[in-house]
Amino acid sequence: MDTRNNVVWHHVTVTRERRELLNGHRAHAVWFTGFSGSGKSTLAHAVEEQLHGVGCRTFVFDGDNVRHGLCSELGFSIEDRSENIRRIAEMVRLFLDAGVIALCAFISPMRDDRQKVRAIVGADNFTEIHCDCSLEICEQRDVKGLYKKARTGLIKDYTGISSPYEAPERPALRLETDKEVLLDCVVKVVDMLRERGVVSETYFRS
């Protein structure tokens, strides 16, 4: 039974704006996309360490972690990947209402799905970062041993091998994670968040 007509949005008294004022920074969704092994999660956690160290409210959404719970019944077909990203976007939207900087590390291979995330959370709340790493280097790293399994047919619908990846055409930031050192990438992300008014310069003054 479709219950949507019987559900009414409850308006809160403690608003996102009040939470942002208390936090001293804006809520924002930073979306890291790229091949498996391109450094998305590593970079997201490194950025979180930097922001957490100066008192920002943050949370990292990691692709594998989400699939252990919220999306545990979904597979890796194009349709299931799309539903996976939709659920994540709705969850991130709630975290934005909570005043949190959400650092989201997902392959999210399809442009349309990433555009849907932007629409759900709001364009002003969304920054897309492409962790641009060659497939060759990602396979050399193969930190989870998944590329090898995909090449031998043990894993189907694997991005870059048997399933497509559509790179962002105009990301807010493109990081060559197979060439740039991690710290330099972190600095670029944090600088961009300052430029966009998500965090204040005063956070990083000694």
Give per-residue pLDDT as tens, 73-100: 887 888 888 898 999 999 999 999 999 9
Location of structure tokens 């897309």? 128
Q: What's the whole-model pTM score?
A: 0.89
Q: How many CB atoms sit inside 10 A of residue 3's CB?
A: 6
Question: In a 10 Å sphere around its CB, with 0-12 CB exposed, 13-18 middle and 19+ buried, how is residue 180 labelled?
Answer: middle
* pLDDT computed for residue 143 by the predictor: 79
Q: Which two tokens stand for residue 2?
A: 């479709």
Q: Residue type for 157, please?
A: D
- In angstroms, the Cα distances linking 111 to 38, 136, 171 are 17, 22, 11
- Copy the structure tokens of residue 197: 């008014």
Residues with Cβ within 8 Å of 20's Cβ and at least 6 positions away in sequence, in order, are: 26, 27, 99
Residue 206's pLDDT is 47
Q: What does the pLDDT read at residue 203?
A: 61
Separation between Cα atoms, residue 38 and residue 95, nearest integer Å: 25
| pLDDT for the residue 8 | 63
114/107 Cα distance (integer angstroms): 10
The rounded distance, in Å, linking the Cα atoms of 25 and 98 is 12
Residue range 121-150, pLDDT digits in tens: 999 999 999 999 999 999 999 878 888 999
Q: Tell me the per-residue pLDDT of 154-177, one tens digit each, with 9 for 90 and over.
A: 988 889 898 899 999 999 999 999
Positions annotated as catalytic residues are: 108
CATH number belonging to domain 16-133+165-195: 3.40.50.300
Q: Residue 151 half-sphere exposure, CB side, CA atoms within 13 Å?
A: 9
Cα 102 to Cα 206: distance, rounded to the nearest angstrom: 25
**Which pLDDT score, from 0 to 100, does residue 68 have?**
67
